[in-house]
Amino acid sequence: MRVIRTALSRRTLLRGAGAAMALPFLEAMMPSARAADVASRPKRLQVFYSPNGMTMPGFQPTGTGADFALPPTLEPLAPHRADITVISGLGHPQAAAMGDRPAGHGRSCPAFLTGTHVKQTEGPDIRAGVSMDQVFAGHLGDATQLTSLELGIDQASLLGSCDINYSCAYTNGISWLTPSVPLPVEANPRAVFERLFGDGDVSDEAGRLAQLRRQSSILDFVMEDTRRLSTQLGMEDRRKLDEYLDATRAIEKRIQRSASSPATGQAASMQQPAGIPADFAEHVKLMIDLQVLAMQADITRVGTFMIGRELSNRTYPEIGVPDSHHMLSHHGNNPEKMAQLAKINRYHMEFFAYYLQRMKEVRDGEGSLLDRTLVIRGSAFGDSNEHDYMDLPIMVAGGLVKGGRHVRVEKGTTMSNLMLAGLNALDVRVASFGDSTAPLRELTDA
């Protein structure tokens, strides 16, 4: 006999003094007849970006279709081979100079998710286009607490030019709310946590955040409300809620450890604020876990993550690469420098594998977060030594597209075609995007 119940509002919050926690997407939030219907669950978009291009021989697979071999850079993705589609040949024609002065990074980075030719300027009169993620966020409207979440590892450079004749605004991030408003990347996990779980109804913002910092856990604030809600939930929803609360507690403890640990080495020289781990790998994983937690709680369905700011000079002594990432990207075909750059590319891919694994681990009904998410992973350059913007290292993942294959398109096909097809897969029925010519049929072809 089917039990008829009133669906729990998806806006339900766990509340306590000065704090509020959104809930994960529960069966109780769906009418009983649709509770097991995967198609009724929300769709999501995530973008994972690496700076400074790629050593393409280590990235591009041999073979096409399902018969392809993972090259060295992609080997960390072996457990997720069935979930990914590598697309070779996509480019961004709008990243060409078109009469402007040479400056590859300043044009290619903002073109990555907008498909537009940006205005050459070092001043405040920046201009690009609305990025794909923000088109989807606009389509969703106020369906979630946050329209989108832009995370990264490097603090933004706020003043002057970061590439010749191009404002730092063009290389700090990849999301653009409007053609003249880039969205800043947040690199401090504590700030992200407080943004996700602070109570927006409290008027004294500074006092509220200070209160949160003094407490051992945000869960202490909402425990009574949690117990009350649990009595209204079925067994599967209680399991999901417990899993979500455990993940929140674990992330919170890691942030607290980071805030209390002294910054050393490179972290100290970068003057990172409290809450940013000194260890690069821990920092990256913490930010990824926060992004996944935000999706798990349905706080947002749109996110971007930059594992490094474009033009990043970060060094990676932990993997035997003491030289600057950006300098190595201009390797001049020196085999030793190319080998060092390939190490960085593979290291970044290990974190993308972690990203996919975390989304697989979080259940969403009978499936996982990944099953209802379109993930785009790439860089604004292919061959970084040449600033090649016409053959980019692009892959897509997630259950909204067919995986387990390598697709080749005509070299220089605009990536805007991929983004147009992606928007359509996300139920955003637009006829064009950026400099698109048609939806990339290879994205969704069976």
Sequence spans of domains, the chain: 44-187+276-444, 206-274
Cα distance between residue 133 and residue 115, in whole Å: 12
Q: State the pLDDT at residue 247.
A: 79
Torsion, CA 379, CA 347, CA 184, CA 430, rounded to 10: 40
- pLDDT tops 60 at residue 268: no
Token readout for 220 is: 């202490």
**Considering only 163-172, 267-276, 334-343, which range has the smallest mean pLDDT?**
267-276
Q: State the pLDDT at residue 161.
A: 55
Question: 441: which DSSP letter?
Answer: H
E strand map for 322-393: 363-364, 367-368, 373-378
CB atoms within 10 A of CB 153: 21
- pLDDT tops 60 at residue 241: yes
- pLDDT tops 50 at residue 214: no
Q: State the pLDDT at residue 276.
A: 86
- Residue 367: alpha-carbon gap to chain centroid: 21
Cα distance between residue 137 and residue 135, in whole Å: 5
Q: State the pLDDT at residue 17.
A: 60
Cα distance between residue 157 and residue 80, in whole Å: 35
Q: Do the beta carbons of residue 173 and residue 156 sit within 8 Å?
A: yes
Q: State the pLDDT at residue 446.
A: 54
Token readout for 334 is: 């020196």
Taking the model in full, what pTM does it have? 0.87
- Residue 156: alpha-carbon gap to chain centroid: 16
E strand map for 322-433: 363-364, 367-368, 373-378, 394-397, 405-414
The tens digit of pLDDT for each residue in 6-51 reads: 567 766 777 766 667 777 777 777 665 454 555 668 999 999 999 9
The tens digit of pLDDT for each residue in 363-411 reads: 887 789 999 999 999 999 999 899 999 999 999 999 999 999 999 999 9
E strand map for 129-204: 149-152, 161-163, 166-167, 176-178, 181-182
Name residue 72's amino acid: P
Q: What percentage of residues in the chain have a pLDDT greater than 90?
A: 60
Q: Is 30 left (phi over 0), alpha (psi -120 to 50) or beta?
A: beta
- pLDDT tops 50 at residue 125: yes
First to last CA, the chain: 38
What angle in degrees, to the nearest 10, is found between the helix axes of 280-296 and 235-260? 150
Q: State the pLDDT at residue 90.
A: 98
- pLDDT tops 70 at residue 118: yes
Residues near 134 by beta carbon (within 8 Å), at least 6 away in sequence: 148, 175, 176, 177, 183, 302
Read out DSSP for 233-284? S-HHHHHHHHHHHHHHHHHHHHHHHHHHSPP-HHHHHTTPPTTS-SSHHHHH
Beta strands 367-368 and 363-364 are antiparallel
Q: What is the mean pLDDT of residues 317-335?
A: 96
CA nearest 171: which of 133, 132, 126?
A: 126
- Residue with the bigger pLDDT between 278 and 232: it is 278
Backbone angles phi, psi at 127, to 5 degrees: -155, 130
The angle at the Cα of 376, spanning 379 to 154, to the nearest 5 degrees, equals 50
Q: State the pLDDT at residue 37.
A: 56
Q: State the pLDDT at residue 200.
A: 46
Q: What percentage of residues in the chain have a pLDDT greater than 70?
A: 85
- Residue with the bigger pLDDT between 386 and 239: it is 386
The tens digit of pLDDT for each residue in 139-149 reads: 999 988 899 99
The tens digit of pLDDT for each residue in 39-82 reads: 668 999 999 999 999 999 999 999 999 999 999 999 999 999 99
**Considering only 4-8, 167-171, 295-299, 421-425, which range has the smallest mean pLDDT?**
4-8
C-alpha torsion sign, points 268, 305, 259, 198: positive
- pLDDT tops 80 at residue 264: no
Q: State the pLDDT at residue 149.
A: 96
Q: State the pLDDT at residue 274.
A: 59
Q: What is the average pLDDT score of the chain?
A: 86
Distances from the Cα of 135 to the Cα of 50, 178, 306, angstroms: 22, 10, 19
- Tokens 């480019």 locate to 91
Q: What is the mean pLDDT of residues 174-189?
A: 94
**Considering only 185-189, 193-197, 294-298, 433-437, which range has the smallest mean pLDDT?**
193-197
CATH class of the region 44-187+276-444? alpha beta
